[in-house]
Structure 1
Amino acid sequence: MTIRKNLCAQIVHDLGRQILGGEIQPGQAIPNESVLCERMGVSRTVIREAVKSLAAKGLIRSRAKLGTTVLPSVSWNFLDPDVLEWQAQTDVDGRLLRHLTQFRLGLEPAAAAFAAQCASDDQLQTIRDAFQAMEGAVENAEDFLVADLRFHTSILHATGNPFFSPVANVIRAALKSSIRVTNRQSAENRKSIPLHHSVMQAIWDRDSVAADHAMRTLLGDARARIQKAGGGKRPSTLLPNPQPESSVQSHE
């Protein structure tokens, strides 16, 4: 990565985190090019590249004579890995995790059912290998996280549906954010092993109904552990209530 790209990435990160953290609210303008150039010690070219990147993520929009403003949250690309990471860094009340779990509940049971029907022998083995890696890593939080991520994304890849595979790469950050909270202790990791085994076995048995049910049970357990962790006790700046379209025009 060149120096210019490094600088651009840092500016994108800084501004993105400010937006997701609520420091710059929807409808507010970000500093203009001159101010950003002076503040960050970079060229206008770097600033323009950073602005384009943030616009591509649905966070901001530039308009002639009106400057660059933050768009309503309904425009933000919540499946963008960077956006998810910035959310996770500022998720003070667990609201993000609840939304991610709802998203997973809408996606992964169906994926497990499709995987049971469509997975190749190699894909079945990849799912089993990931499960066995989880079994061997219950005492190591980071290794368990890696194996758990592999387990869930392998199932998405095994659906045989081309629309699931790209989503698997995008929601990796979502799974990571959720799993880091729900699998903090080895005892909790150990308790989740039978639930993961039920999912894996149903897929191996080519039982789509059982696979759907097992995945719902697994994610229901994850949701219960998120709630047990005490999320939602403080107001959050994350995922603010959508603003009327009239307040900030669409960026399309």
Structure 2
Amino acid sequence: MGNPLKRAQSPRNLCAQVVHELGNRILAGDFEPGQPLPQETTLCDQLGVSRTVVREAIKSLSAKGLVQSRAKLGTLVQPARGWNYLDPEVLQWQLQADTSGRQLFHLTEFRRTIEPAAAALAAERASDEELQDIADACDDMRRNADDVDAFLVADLRFHTLILHATGNPFFAPVANAISVALESSLRVTNRQPADNRTSVPVHQKVMKAIVARKPNAAQAAMRALLNDAASRIDRASKKT
């Protein structure tokens, strides 16, 4: 049976697949921090790709903070504290490797720190168009409460729109992390339409406070929403 990477046609696709393969293995602990990756020629043989593809993949992993190439030492896996946790791929690999649920807890904790402040800023700074987009996303959640996948899409849009409506560009990369965290969270807590229906009023409260330009109320409503999400995750984890 041939290597699946060999079936890809373009070098760009091949590089993305190698990045995905190695990133997953690093986050899964196949390569420990301080340990070198296999030599370039070995990776070429194992993955069935050219040296050019391997080198480009290593550059991508280095940009994510996962590895660093050093003369005479090879390409070393870096300590976890240097990884770019706001990179969507790194987050996804980490969530896939996490069997304890600890990573989802950390991401939810991060959201509880960031999103209430974002809601308050959005209430102060959002344009009329941004307010309408947030309201529309919330309404899409209501209308699609019985469709788990469509609800997820609307919920993701609702939260990322609020982050962008802060007017602060530093919230943009955070929106990527929020999207990955929220998608993972909802797949744990909102597996049934009934779960979606009960969460709609909580989101509506956030939306109404932002649209009314009430920063304190928006912050409190978002904090309550995330506290509810954390409780749902805790309950769901105890059932598994």
Instruction: State the TM-score, normalized to the length of structure 1.
Output: 0.88
Deviations 1:127-183 (A, max 9, x none): 110000000111111100000001001111111223223432453222222222222
Read off the aligned partner of 1:229 and give its amino acid letter. Answer: A
Paired AA for residue 56 in structure 2: E
% same residue: 59
1:244 corresponds to: none
SS in 2 for 1:62: strand
Match of 1:241 in 2: none
Instruction: State the distance in 2 between where 1:232 and 1:71 align.
Output: 35
In structure 2, distance between residues paired with 1:20 and 1:134: 33
* Residue 165 in structure 1 maps to residue 172 in structure 2: yes
The one-letter code of the counterpart of 1:103 is F
Q: Which amino acid in the other structure matches residue 116 of structure 1? A: A
Residues 231 and 95 of structure 1, relative CA distance in 2, 3 Å threshold: farther
Amino acid at match of 2:199: S
| Corresponding position of 1:250 | none
Choose 25-34 or 224-233, whichever is displaced more. Answer: 224-233
Q: How many residues align?
A: 233
The answer to whether 1:62 aligns with 2:89 is: no
| 2:114 equivalent in structure 1 | 107
Alpha-carbon distance between aligned partners in 2 of 1:231 and 1:28, rounded to the nearest angstrom: 35
Structure 1, 64-73 or 179-188: larger mean CA deviation? 179-188
1:33 to 25, 40, 55: 40
1:18 to 25, 44, 51: 25
CA distance in 2, matches of 1:169, 1:58: 17
SS at match of 2:237: coil
> Among residues 143, 151, 155, which one is paired with 1:148 in the alignment?
155
Distance 2:123 2:46 in 1: 54
Q: Judge conservation of contact 1:95–1:231 (CA < 8 Å) in 2.
A: no
**Do residues 45 (structure 1) and 52 (structure 2) align?**
yes
Q: Which residue of 2 aligns with 1:77?
A: 84
2:131 to 81, 105, 124: 124
- 3-state secondary structure, aligned to 1:97: helix
User: Which residue of 161, 175, 186 maps to 1:179?
Assistant: 186
Kept in 2, the 8 Å contact 1:94–1:231? The answer is: no
The unaligned stretches of length 5 or more in structure 1 are 234-252
Distance in 1 of aligned mates of 2:14 and 2:136: 40
Q: Return the letter of the residue paired with 2:196.
A: N
1:18 CA displacement: 0.5
Q: Which amino acid aligns with 2:207?
A: M
Tell me which of the two structures has the higher relative contact order, counting C-alpha pairs closer than 8 angstroms and 6 or more residues apart. Answer: 1
For 1:65-118, what per-residue CA distance to the aligned partner results, in whole angstroms no more than 9, with x for missing partners? Answer: 111111110011111011011112222121111011111111100010011111
Q: Which residue of 2 aligns with 1:248?
A: none
| Structure whose residues are more often helix by fraction | 2
The answer to whether the Cα contact below 8 Å between 1:114 and 1:208 also exists between their aligned partners in 2 is yes
Q: Judge conservation of contact 1:113–1:203 (CA < 8 Å) in 2.
A: yes
Residue type of the alignment partner of 1:209: N
Instruction: Tell me the C-alpha RMSD between the 2 structures.
Output: 1.7
Q: Partner residue of 1:226?
A: 233
In structure 1, distance between residues paired with 2:122 and 2:238: 32
**Structure 1 residue 231: Cα displacement:** 6.1
2 CA distance for matches of 1:55 and 1:122?
Answer: 39
Code of the aligned partner of 2:63: A
**Aligned equivalents of 1:94 and 1:87: distance in 2?**
11
